[in-house]
Amino acid sequence: MNDVPLSDADYVEAHPHSSRQARAIAEAGTILRVQVGSGVHGTAVDGSDDRDEMGVCLEPPAFVTGIARVPNPVATSGSTVPFEQWEYHTAWQRAGGLANRSGAGDLDVIVYSARKYAQLAASGNPTVLLPLFVPDAEIVTITEAGRELRDGAAAFASMHAAQRFSGYMTKQRYGISGERGRTNRPELVAEFGYDCKYAMHALRLGVQGIEYLSTGRITLPVPEPHLTALREVRLGQWSLADVLAWYDDLDAQLAALAATEPLPREPDRAWIDAWLHRSYTRFWAARA
* Domain shared by 89 and 182, yes or no: no
3-state secondary structure of 110: strand
Tell me if 138 is assigned to some domain: yes
* Domain shared by 63 and 91, yes or no: yes
Q: What is the pLDDT of residue 2?
A: 41
* Domain shared by 131 and 273, yes or no: yes
Element (H, E) at 149: helix 144-151
Structural domain including 88 reads 20-152+266-280
As for how many domains the chain has, the answer is 2
Q: Is the peptide bond before 221 cis (omega within 30 degrees of 0)?
A: yes
Q: Is the peptide bond before 73 cis (omega within 30 degrees of 0)?
A: no
* Domain shared by 147 and 43, yes or no: yes
Element (H, E) at 52: strand 51-57
Q: Are strands 70-71 and 139-142 parallel, antiparallel or unpaired?
A: unpaired
Q: What is the pLDDT of residue 181?
A: 54
Tell me if 13 is assigned to some domain: no
Q: What is the DSSP letter of 136?
A: G
- Going from the first residue of the chain to its last (288 residues), give the mean pLDDT of each consecutive group of 10, the final group possibly shorter: 60 93 97 95 83 97 97 87 95 80 86 98 98 98 98 98 94 69 71 88 96 98 97 94 95 96 98 98 96
* Domain shared by 191 and 250, yes or no: yes
* Domain shared by 169 and 121, yes or no: no
* Domain shared by 124 and 234, yes or no: no
Q: What is the pLDDT of residue 97?
A: 78
Tell me if 166 is assigned to some domain: yes
CA separation for the pair 115, 65 (Å, rounded): 12
* Domain shared by 120 and 233, yes or no: no
* Domain shared by 172 and 240, yes or no: yes
Q: How remote is the C-alpha of 281 from its chain's centroid?
A: 26
3-state secondary structure of 87: strand
* Domain shared by 48 and 66, yes or no: yes
* Domain shared by 138 and 176, yes or no: no
Tell me if 271 is assigned to some domain: yes
CA separation for the pair 257, 5 (Å, rounded): 42
